[in-house]
Chains A and B, each alone.
Chain A
Amino acid sequence: MNLTLKIWRQAGPQAKGSMETYQVTDISEDMSFLEMLDVLNEDLTERGEEPVAFDSDCREGICGMCGLMISGHAHGPEVTTTCQLHMRSFRDGETITIEPWRADAFPVIKDLVVDRSSFDRIIQAGGFISANTGAAPEAHSVPVPKPLADRAFESAACIGCGACVAACPNASGMLFMGAKITHLGSLPQGQPERWARVQNMVATHDAEGFGGCTNIGECSAACPKEIPLDVISTLNSDLRKSRSQRH
């Protein structure tokens, strides 16, 4: 198939960006979306132009490194990561717009590459269980009821790609944060730090410039790992409880 691509080009963090138009031809529907961009980049390199910078690594939907706004949808028209989107989801002759994640907390570095280190800083604030190496008790000493283990697993599936933030009209990071709060807070091992965790993570989230949650639900709808919206309820409830638990 042949496609018209309108792509955000921006030379650097401070540069002013703009949409540029490119054509790609002879694209097979079995190719992934990023392989289609590889073809464009090989073309550009051959013509002596600068290829389009975009992030990807595993290209199998698990590392969370890729992430593009494709015709207005985070990760494109399917519920998956950008790297797992295939060209059979598009029509011959279609015009596709490709932009970076847009959020104050994710500044653009170049073209389609953004800085998501704010997510790491939210984790630094408390997204862990403090268990130094070598200090762990025998794994079977604390059984975990299966429903709790399953709930923890479901929320731990988050890949930290940032689609939730990009999809949210408020650029809120609540789904990302709620997933971690729910993962660790569902487990017995996560209880000792539960209340401090939620307070510290929320404070960092707000300080990093993410917006607030107004229950729109675009985040969960865009999430390639289908993290359920109710992790945000868990977060809010933990936050409320933490205020009475601490002090």
Chain B
Amino acid sequence: MTDLIQGLYSEGEKIADTKAPAGPIDKKWTQRKFDAKLVNPANRRKLDVIVVGTGLAGGAGAATLGEAGYNVKAFCYQDSPRRAHSIAAQGGINAAKNYKGDGDSIHRLFYDTVKGGDYRSRETNVYRLAEVSADIIDQCVAQGVPFAREYGGLLDNRSFGGVQVSRTFYARGQTGQQLLIGAYQALERQIAAGTVEMFTRHEMLEVIVVDGKARGIIARDMVTGEIETHLADAVVLASGGYGNVFFLSTNAMGCNVTAAWRAHRKGAYFGNPCYTQIHPTCIPQHGDKQSKLTLMSESLRNDGRIWVPKRAEDCDKDPRQIPEEDRDYYLERIYPSFGNLVPRDIASRQAKNMCDEGRGVGPAVVELQEDGSEREVRRGVYLDFAEAISRMGKDAVSAKYGNLFDMYERITGDNPYETPMRIYPAVHYTMGGLWVDYDLQSSIPGLFVTGEANFSDHGANRLGASALMQGLADGYFVMPNTIRNYLADGPFDKLDESHPAVQEARQSVESRVERFLTMGGTRSADSYHKELGRIMWEYCGMERTEEGLKKAIGMIRDLREDFWTNLRVPGQGRELNQSLEKAGRVADFLELGELMCIDALHRRESCGGHFRAESQTEDGEALRHDDEFAYVAAWEFAGDGDGRMSAPVLHKEDLVYEFIELKQRSYK
């Protein structure tokens, strides 16, 4: 291991995936499924698997494992698995079906995903994702997912997120909902069949590791407050992303990093934590009491035109009074060939640039500045449908986007048929997550990680309509096939709740809960969360600098110290206590935030959603450094010392591109 680097981290041994078989890329998955050991059907009943989180990845995974005959326990913090935030995805799901005959193929979806991820993802995993994508559509149709259809009764597709083929399947603006309900129904069917036992309103607070293997979890029943021990032969985390570290994001209120972070603290490496996706088309913030941000499908960019006034003094004006020649359609100007359809990271950063220049529109919000002072900035750009309405007619626009327009009007009180929408980027998805190998197994044997919770498929930037694809690919097709290789060696030694490792896990949860309840400070968990969010957004958001990140690390440490002395959690432990739930989640976000900043600081290049101001081309575009940074940063937790997290250890996994040639992205 190296000495401390920049006083913040050290570097350990390199790591590599050992599970993807050698050979041509289009044969690897078939080969792996063949090599992975089988579990005799009679033995499956004797194998217990815990699944944490029941969104697309977890719900699909739990249902599939149940169908196969394993003994599954599934956990979610909501009152029903049907609520998971996968439900909110609007746009669609990609699949290489080539139903339009427009030249799509597995290889093209693979290529687009690797390129879209700015060459920071693992080829083998991405190829497999593209390979199983078509099976997902078959599976969902068989379950009754009501995808959009053409008059002939066949499935409709659209082009999405700037790709040049139509491979996106959709169900109006509610694709996530329909896919999730499909997975939910499959899961409920297994619950009825007795193969899956469902624990709703339960939150996982610790993973149990015995002799280096994941053997269960400690969970809190959020209704009774009881702390429960659940033992198993393997654990699957499908607990989603950590965008809520920014406080304001498009995530649901309850989305959190606790399950993943607790696993990280127990030895699971955290991959690329700084890779955050900021989605360009969200409804701007209205004030400082805002609790979350709402995304509108980026399909809006297919017909809407994005602009800001050319002159800052016009920003107050009614946009309809600003003549064409005084408008700056900046994406069309800077990127003539892609225009309004440039990838998410570019569209987002340019919106920020326009507002930083003082040409933003809408109400001004108070922001933290580099020097720690506050200023008021207008954070919004116009997304204008006037041209689309005159070209296609109002009815056609309404047929295509009606539900999004209604949603916009409900939230803002403005009618987008009459006045341009205002949009601004918001944190939406985290590409980073727990490091996994080709089998989706983390660095803790027996701990598998699926969906947004892992780091594996999207590199530094995720393409539109690929999150649903990955969640269901992992849940239905990948994890159930790889976990059997691990489970084939089970059932493992019978474990007792009195085992010291189990006791230790349980006690650490109990004493943490106790500590929250007895701290008796003055500030609410929410107030800390908001403050952390402001730090993260300012210094680890759309643009990151060495100086800013260093400052953020200091600020987060101070905030964390204050949190652990000054927090107030009302109520009791043995009851439904939403303040207590929140406190635990914020405590983990306060640690994750620091790691994200360290990761962002160490990656002195710009790639995908990670833009380092020091690494840009002359005309302000992201500049990658493939010679230095073509690797996954997998971080190992190094323990706590003096009430502080010790400097984490960086393990690099080199990204080897055998099948795709690395290129600088250009959308000009």
Contact = CB atoms under 8 A, between A and B. Distances in A.
Interface in B489-520: none
Contact of A57 (B63, B78, B138): B78
Contact of B155 (A120, A125, A140, A159): A140
Interface string B178-190: 1001001110110
Given A45-B524, A57-B254, A63-B88, A139 B155 contact: yes
Contacts, number: 220
B472 to A, nearest CB: 10
Contact of A58 (B87, B137, B178): B87
B652 interface: no
A142 B186 CA distance: 20
**Main secondary structure on chain A at its contact with chain B?**
loop
Contacts of B83: 57-58, 63-65
Given A38-B289, A159-B177, A128 B151 contact: no
A20 interface: no
Contacts of A28: 286-287, 289
Contact of A184 (B60, B144, B171): B144
Contacts of A62: 87-88, 174, 176-177
Given A28-B287, A30-B286, A63-B85, A84 B253 contact: no
A149 B176 CA distance: 17
B409 to A, nearest CB: 10
Nearest to A128: B185
- Considering residues A35, A120, A146, which has the most beta carbons from chain B within 10 angstroms of its beta carbon? A120
A144 B151 CA distance: 9
B527 A156 contact: no
B575 A65 contact: no
B174 A57 contact: no
Interface in B315-357: none
B18 interface: no
A18 interface: no
A152 B172 CA distance: 12
B42 interface: no
B139 A133 contact: yes
Contact of A113 (B291, B576, B579): B576
A128 B189 contact: yes
Interface residues of A, number: 78
Contacts of A46: 522, 524
- Considering residues A32, A60, A129, A184, which has the most beta carbons from chain B within 10 angstroms of its beta carbon? A60
Contacts of B522: 46
Contacts of A38: 289, 291, 526
Interface of B: 60, 63-64, 67, 78-85, 87-88, 97, 99, 135, 137-144, 146-155, 171-172, 174, 176-178, 181, 184-186, 188-189, 191-192, 198, 200, 223, 250, 252-254, 286-287, 289-292, 294-295, 407, 410-413, 476-477, 480, 522, 524, 526-527, 568, 570-571, 575-576, 578-579
Given A133-B139, A139-B155, 20 more contacts: A39-B289, A48-B568, A56-B253, A58-B88, A59-B294, A63-B78, A110-B575, A120-B191, A123-B188, A128-B143, A128-B186, A137-B138, A139-B97, A139-B138, A143-B153, A144-B149, A145-B153, A156-B178, A183-B144, A187-B146
27 contacts: A32-B291, A42-B526, A45-B524, A45-B526, A46-B522, A48-B570, A59-B292, A60-B88, A62-B176, A63-B82, A65-B78, A84-B411, A86-B411, A88-B413, A109-B223, A110-B575, A124-B191, A130-B189, A133-B139, A134-B476, A135-B142, A142-B141, A143-B153, A149-B147, A149-B149, A156-B171, A187-B144
The 9 A-B pairs of least Cβ separation, nearest first, read A143-B153, A136-B142, A128-B185, A131-B142, A124-B192, A153-B146, A136-B138, A30-B286, A57-B252
